[in-house]
Structure 1
Amino acid sequence: MKEVKVAIIGFGTVGAGVAENILKNGEVIAKRTGVKLVLTRIADLDITTDRGVAVPKELLTTNAAEAIESADIVVELIGGTTIAKKFILDAIKAGKHVVTANKALLAMHGEEIFDAAEKAGVDVCYEASVAGGIPIIKALREGLVSNRINRIYGIMNGTCNYILTRMENEGADFDTVLADAQKLGYAEANPSLDIDGFDTAHKTSILASLAFGRWFGMDPVHVEGIRGLELADLQYADELGYRIKLLAIIKLIDGKVQMRVHPTLIPKSTLLAGISDVFNGVMVEGDTVGQTLFYGRGAGRSATASAVVADITDVALNIVNGSVRRIPAFRPGEQFDEVVSIDEAASRYYLRFMVKDCPGVLASITQILAEKSISISSLIQHERRDADGVVPLVILTHKAVEKEIRSALGEIDTLSINHSPVKLMRIEDI
């Protein structure tokens, strides 16, 4: 049986999971593929802390260069965009194949890494960088290769989905649920990367690049998170037949690409709206296959390790069968070069006003909307009011261009009837 040598750089939660998976299921992989994966080194600055997996001590090292030298495949799992980039480029320069789960690095420097891999004739695989254990990268690169991708919708951050699910189910406020998520380990002590939308944005850039044949980077991705989302908005969305999700939206419309991440109202009747708790879901619409939905655990030691080891196995099979770069990590496609800014994007909108309960309020708001050619599809105004006589007014619009909505809201915010800035969220009628 042929052997392929594997080294891991980064022995944290995922690195430990990858090592455990190879040591535990190596025989199963060998029987299924005819290739034996042999761990040669595991490199980390800390090689003394117990990771809950029995690893032979001779495999552990603090020297990443030693790990790179020892292997055919180098697995980068330290994260970040500085030293991780150096290790990956060092490995590629040394003729080693690379597997990584580093979404931020790929979103920001993917083009440079893939160019280096092409010149060196090595594979770079990154299934675990998007949606953990869900094989969405493989689906886009292989399973849907005969399709032009029209749109992708993704719920791709378990922390945010957990928070939104609990707020909706328990009627709890954002800060309370976030604090619980931190205690349970679902959210970091500094949760900004998750709740401000950047984690999802990194994944959005990667998927858009695979779908549309151009490495976009991060600049064109519009990003809004769920920080400070109010319970009232989830309750109004529910009343109107929607759920709010932090949604990645990737679209091709008239040959132009849209990439956005923001809290979004989606119909409760859709399968995507039913994805709850820490789970992820990605819906891909191809011109031939139609809509497909991929669902599963998007993070965590075991789910991510499963995706990493699948990549290692793919690369190992390429090596032993002499088919390296059979499917390159990224291959330019039809090259859709024009990216639509958020100002030019069209959507339906959820608008919540806090207004004084007095005659003419609704007429003033609808008049300004009408002047911007923005029509109303639904409206809610309950009788409850606070001590100042302020009541919530919720309006759903028909499709409108973002800059026109923003212009209208700018005018409405100046009216004396408006008690606080308007709450705006977008609607996707999936």
Structure 2
Amino acid sequence: MERERETERETERETERETERETERETERETERETERERETERERETERERQRERETERETERETERETERDRERQRERQRERERERERERRRERQRDGERDRERERERERERERERQRETERERQRERDRERQRERQRERERERERDGERDRERERERDRERERERERERERERETERDRERETERERQRESQRERQRERDRERERERERERERQRQRQRQRQRQRESERETERERERERERETERETERETERETERETERETERETERQRQRQRQRQRERERERQRQRQRQRQRQRQRQRQRQRQRDRERERERERERERERERERERERERERESERETERERERERERERERERQRERERERQRERERETERERERETETETETERERERERERERERDNNRAVGFMLRCIKLCALVVCCSS
């Protein structure tokens, strides 16, 4: 019994110790819970401060967003004013360009009129120069015709004088021939027989000379075939030999005549000189006729050349007139082309103005689209801001629900602990 009581007392003491230990543990747990509550309270305050800071940040963000929105609106208004100013400047520039183009067109038309006046003045000067050249050519032709007439008259007078001199020479030759015939008749009557013999000897010597000349001609032809450049020299030698032969014949005749009679020698010499003079006169007449023919041919060639030059000048004048007509036609075509180019430039300027107006309309449409896009972006930013604000509220509500859940869980745990403590204490 005593052991039972001792055991009961020991059990009670053990229970008391256990209760004390449990009380201490509960006290510690309560202390810990208090500390935890303090920490929770601190965390709640910190959370509240965080929320306060977040709300402040949100309000600051909202104010910043409002300020940014206001700045955006201000920038939009500034851009709108700048675009308006730009449009105004563009309109002023366009008016200035239109005025400048109008002034440039007016200056161009004035320059064109001035060029046309200059071209007309130049054409008038050219026509005046052409008329002056025509008059000068007419005067030149008149002078040329006068000179030709004077030359023809001079040539006619020269021909008359030449014919008169020729007639005079012919009369002189006839008189000389008559005297020669008389002398020759006298001489023939005196020495007919001697002349016969002399003629025989002369014929013999002439034949000999002829043979010699033939041989000389053969040699001459041979040399001519051999050396063409020496023909003239050889002919001169041949003539010299012939003259030498003639002189030798004359000397022989003279010697023969001297052996016969001195008078016959003189008469023969006289005949020789007479024949020589006759030949000289014949040659002179032949040269005169050749010169006459040469002058006639030369005058004929001169007349032909003059006619050729006249025809050539006439053709040149005709070509010049044709070139002038062609230049006039070319200037007319150039004026037409210039008019077409001016019309084309005017059309091009009109097309350029139309394109400029189209570009202006396109820029206006682009600015309108830009304003619409800017408005759309503004709406998107506002929508994004509202969405972000809504998401932030949703996160705040989520955090609030989490805190409520945490508080509920803590309260339930505390209740469970208190129930367990009550059960322990009751036991």
TM-score range, shorter chain: under 0.3
Structure with the higher fraction of residues in helix conformation? 2
Larger CA Rg, structure 1 vs 2? 2
Return the TM-score normalized by structure 1.
0.15
Return the TM-score normalized by structure 2.
0.15
Higher relative contact order (CA 8 A, sep 6+): 1
Structure with the higher fraction of residues in strand conformation? 1
